[in-house]
Structure 1
Amino acid sequence: MSIQMFLVGGAVRDALLGLPVQDRDWVVVGETPKSLIDKGFVPVGKDFPVFLDPVTHEEVALARTERKTGSGYHGFQFHTDPGVTLEEDLIRRDLTINAMARGADGVLVDPHGGQRDLAARVLRHVSPAFAEDPVRILRLARFAARFGDFSVAPETMDLMREMVAAGEADALVAERVWQEIARGLMEAHPARMIEILRDCGALARIAPELDRLFGVPQPEAHHPEIDTGVHLLLVLQECARVQAPLPVRYAALCHDLGKGVTPRDEWPRHLRHETRSEKLAIALSQRWRVSSECKELAELVAREHTHVHQSLDFSPEAQLRLIERCDALRRPERFAQLLLACECDARGRAGLQDREYPQRAKLLAALQRVQAVDQAAISAAALAEGKKGPAIGQAIQAARLAALREAR
């Protein structure tokens, strides 16, 4: 006996947009867990009944309704039975563009105008139930980062502001915040995510360090865009343009956090903002529980980006100190990511997107020259001369400096 199975959500949306379909989600109507198991489906869901199709091995969920029973996004009770209709399942979804389905006959089921909103490039909530799950604020912002030319429906923005005012954003847990932020940072328009979160007030709740950057001036000679928050958005877009990896994008997000706490009487200069930025980056990373790779690069970029910008005038001694502070000999890949983040920072400025950034190539070349120094041979020679401990280290240091001097 055949079952009523519908393709739902993002797969339908992306197909209508002419985009590649990455994952396919299915909903089954008129079944029970037992009836699906009897047909060979394998249960895998923890929170609600999800099964693997015995033929395609794709995930299939029973049509369900949900009722909010507590705060945050954990406080939901799901209900499934053979009487739950496809329309009842779709109305619990977040956005109209994600609340469409297509049956085996190819007919589009679109009870909430998702196809219309796709054509109009609008992100709109399906129902008032949107307000029951604060993660949907993050998801909408992430979709804005993916679909950069989509606007947010005014009534949806109003609803998100009401959710923030009611404290719903305060119930978000760190892991889910980071999951959505990380995905949004990797989209084509990450700046849009930050703009949406700021517009609805959520940014001030989940990352006040970022929210504080907007409205803070910088010296116009170095920053034609002046506003530190605007600069942040430009840097994020430059990261996307060069397809930077996630650690670089997260480091870009954190690199200037210290400017948000510069005393007003010191504006537009931000002396020693690097130290403040590093401390705030550490705090944000701990609060969001970001990956160690992202956390460590963010701290490094916050602390060293100004030195990298100034490095064209560095002496060999200063070059070597920078390389050593960054632990570049042990972690050359991270050093390369630091330099890419700094290049995005330098180009993330109004009218300067195409500027040259020779610092990156020069420091990479300097690292290669230092790496080429044969430590083992120098150590062996020093030992043969009766040298020990610090003296051997000094000999290696001298050889590295000599290699850098030869290139000048």
Structure 2
Amino acid sequence: MEIYLVGGAVRDALLKVDFHERDYVVVGATAEELLAQGFIPVGKDFPVFLHPETQEEYALARTERKTGQGYTGFACYAQPDVTLEQDLERRDLTINAIAQSSSGELIDPWGGIRDLELKVLRHVSPAFAEDPLRVLRAARFAARFHYLGFFIAEETYALMRQLVAAGEIKALVAERVWQETEKALQTQTPSEYFLVLHRCGALGQLLQCNLPTEVNFPALEQLAATSNNSMLRYAAWVADLATMLASNEQALNCTSEQLRIPNAYADMARLLLHTLTTFAQPQLTTKAVLAFYQSTDAWRRPERFLQLEALCQALTSTLSLTNPLFTLERVNKVFAPVNELREMSVQAYIKQGLKGPAIGQALQQARSEVLLARWQQPFI
């Protein structure tokens, strides 16, 4: 039995970037031998185990054979006669197909170290074109290492386009697409993920919408420079799509329905688009501003409203190019009074003997008067 450190830990150590997980491949062993040593099986489809003490992943060396459509259509062979080189050959990119022995020796049969030096993302073998998930993974690594100057090899792009043309992308389940997309949103340059997917034709298929030939994501790029919150980054990306598709509803539907995103992400994107629509009005009356507070649940969900405020403030310089009334001055003017208005209590009106709808009407009137006094005019 021989054990090798593989994948991201080896790659990132060579790149001198931080990593937090270590994965190992075990050559010359059986599942029974690992179980006898206390390893805990966790893989449903593949022979993957957790170390009994470190909880790190150990996988038996394996080969895979394409048996059907999609990323699950593979037959796995994991026996002691599978070599390290064979296991590394089934991996997606050469930079992910480097192993390290317990003595520190690097095993690199597919040229991963050279590609690290060249800063190129290149497929290991033609088998890359058998798994549509690798299109998303290549795009995610392009986003992750874009700041270091990495790019996708043209021959790898060709295989990605081949997968798209064959309709394999449509076999990916929405939950799996979202997993890769969320990881990409957490990279330094998330816009590169979507640009790569668009260049190979995958983005339109994944979202099931017609995108223009040339796309760009200025709001996402602006927010990525100031915030690492993936939920807010997602909302900025949807705002970019809404501009390209000229439809807020279509942008929301094609992302939330096709990607199966978390409700909190969908809510923030909806709130941002609603805010942009509200600010497109030439005049915002106090009545319209109070209605905006109500529609965004500003009274009951202050933390989410603060996130929306921060998101809007970060994006005004970008989104004002297509929505000229969405200025930082206007955003600050609308969002600033909320804390003061939220503190106004219904108790005072109850003590006055008001009941039911009359309480809400009185509170609304009082809030309107505060806004008028603050602004010295009925609209902004």
- Per the normalisation by structure 2, the TM-score is 0.91
User: CA–CA distance in 2 between the matches of 1:380 and 1:214?
Assistant: 63
* AA in 1 matched with 2:328: Y
CA contact (8 A) 1:278 1:302 kept: no
Per the alignment, residue 145 of structure 2 pairs with 147
Matches within 5 A, 1:4-403: 4-148=2-146, 149-209=149-209, 212-215=211-214, 229-230=215-216, 233-261=217-245, 273=246, 276-308=247-279, 314-348=284-318, 357-381=328-352, 383=353, 387-403=354-370
| CA deviation after TM superposition for structure 1 residue 280, in Å | 3.7
Distance 1:157 1:97, change over 3 A: same
CA contact (8 A) 2:298 2:338 kept: yes
Distance 1:150 1:249, change over 3 A: same
* AA in 1 matched with 2:278: H
3-state SS of paired residue (1:188):
coil
User: CA–CA distance in 2 between the matches of 1:31 and 1:144?
Assistant: 35
- Say what the alpha-carbon RMSD is for the aligned residues: 2.3
User: CA–CA distance in 2 between the matches of 1:37 and 1:122?
Assistant: 39
| CA deviation after TM superposition for structure 1 residue 283, in Å | 4.2
- Any idea what the Cα deviations from partners look like across 1:218-266, whole Å, max 9, x if unmatched? xxxxxxxxxxx32xx12111121112422211111222545445xxxxx
Distance 1:344 1:213, change over 3 A: farther
* AA in 2 matched with 1:32: T
CA contact (8 A) 1:308 1:342 kept: no
3-state SS of paired residue (2:337):
helix
* AA in 1 matched with 2:274: R
User: CA–CA distance in 2 between the matches of 1:283 and 1:155?
Assistant: 30
CA contact (8 A) 1:369 1:403 kept: no
3-state SS of paired residue (1:348):
helix
Distance 1:333 1:213, change over 3 A: farther
3-state SS of paired residue (1:67):
strand
Distance 1:307 1:351, change over 3 A: closer
- Per the normalisation by structure 1, the TM-score is 0.85
3-state SS of paired residue (1:51):
strand
Per the alignment, residue 406 of structure 1 pairs with 373
User: CA–CA distance in 2 between the matches of 1:237 and 1:69?
Assistant: 40
Aligned identity (percent) is 46
- Any idea what the Cα deviations from partners look like across 1:294-332, whole Å, max 9, x if unmatched? 112222222321424669x63433321211121111222
Distance 1:155 1:350, change over 3 A: farther
Distance 1:258 1:54, change over 3 A: closer
* AA in 2 matched with 1:336: L
Give the unaligned 5+ runs of structure 1. 216-228, 262-272
User: CA–CA distance in 1 between the matches of 2:288 and 2:327?
Assistant: 22
CA contact (8 A) 1:68 1:77 kept: yes
Aligned length: 370
| CA deviation after TM superposition for structure 1 residue 350, in Å | 11
* AA in 2 matched with 1:404: L
- Any idea what the Cα deviations from partners look like across 1:100-155, whole Å, max 9, x if unmatched? 01010100111111111111111100001111110000011111111112111010
Distance 1:40 1:390, change over 3 A: closer
Per the alignment, residue 266 of structure 1 pairs with none
- Any idea what the Cα deviations from partners look like across 1:174-210, whole Å, max 9, x if unmatched? 111111111111211011111100111111211244x
CA contact (8 A) 1:72 1:172 kept: yes
Distance 1:58 1:256, change over 3 A: closer
